Amino acid sequence: MAQEPEVEVPAQKSQRRIVGGIVGYNVDEIILRESPKGLSTFKVNQIRRDLAEGIRAYQADRYKDAERNLVAVLEHLPVSQSIREVLGLTYYRQGKWKLAIEQLEASASTTGSVDQGPVIADCYRAMGRHNKVREIYEEVGLVSPSAEVMAEARIVLAGSLSDQKKYTEGIALLSRFETVRRVKPRLIDIRQWYVLADLYEKVGDLEHARNLFRKITTWEPGIYDVAERLADLR
């Protein structure tokens, strides 16, 4: 199969996957587990400070500061999968798709985890590499990850299909998740509804789109631009 050109194509902001925080990353555990032997106490403390500041900056949406600190840490911990993962997410948040892919794929190759597969796929989507998006979606599905990771991968694939104007294929992918059995839907359910509503609007099924946007406002009235979009459909 011929490789698609690496052209950055801006996807719709409303469908861009934005990953959550990095809750659970313990600086001392990373230092203990992934630091090379023989470093001086001074150097270890410097790495610890840079790493802690990098994670704080990431969580505060100060991505340039996070990048600077994490790159400095990676120079001393070049095989650290944790640092590569956080740095990859930092690049992703800045729209540095190729750099994000490089770090996240390096981290995944070490751990075997597919948790960041949707992020990697979304980077390829932004570059117009839609074949890679589908490939990663299928790889994630083979591993049977958490429901949240699988749903994120599904959202990215649906966005990729929308970018290609394959709206009915995207609807087929998401429509079976339109109804949930939980008393209260999760955020990931609502995010799937949003993408599905967008697809329905694009094929001209405005009533279906309206119903989904209304359902979203029932649970998350202030999320995204749902109120504005619903108003436009009246």
Q: What is the pLDDT of residue 20?
A: 39
Place of tokens 């009235």: 221
Q: Is the pLDDT of residue 112 over 60?
A: yes
Which two structure tokens, joined as six digits, stand for 169? 């294929």
Angstrom distance (rounded) from CA 36 to CA 59: 26
**Long-range contact list for 91-97, CB < 8 A, 24+ apart?**
91/67, 92/19, 92/119, 92/122, 92/123, 93/18, 93/19, 93/58, 93/61, 93/63, 94/63, 94/64, 94/67, 95/126, 97/8, 97/123, 97/124, 97/126, 97/127
Higher pLDDT, 223 or 1: 223
Report the sign of the C-alpha dihedral through residues 227, 221, 92, 44, in that order.
positive
Q: What is the pLDDT of residue 21?
A: 40
Q: Which CATH superfamily is domain 20-110 in?
A: Tetratricopeptide repeat domain (1.25.40.10)
Lowest mean pLDDT among 14-23, 64-73, 114-123: 14-23
The residue type found at 63 is Y
Alpha helices, DSSP H, located in 19-62: 27-34, 41-59
Domain boundaries, the chain: 20-110
Percent of the chain exceeding pLDDT 90 equals 66
Model confidence over 42-67: pLDDT tens digits? 999 999 999 999 999 998 999 999 99
Q: What is the pLDDT of residue 130?
A: 97
Q: Is the pLDDT of residue 17 over 90?
A: no
Angstrom distance (rounded) from CA 96 to CA 108: 18
Model confidence over 71-107: pLDDT tens digits? 999 999 988 898 999 999 999 999 999 999 999 999 9
Q: Is the pLDDT of residue 70 over 90?
A: yes
**Long-range contact list for 61-70, CB < 8 A, 24+ apart?**
61/93, 63/90, 63/93, 63/94, 64/94, 66/90, 67/91, 67/94
Angstrom distance (rounded) from CA 81 to CA 74: 10
Q: What is the pLDDT of residue 29?
A: 84
pLDDT band per the 50, 70, 90 thresholds, residue 116 = very high
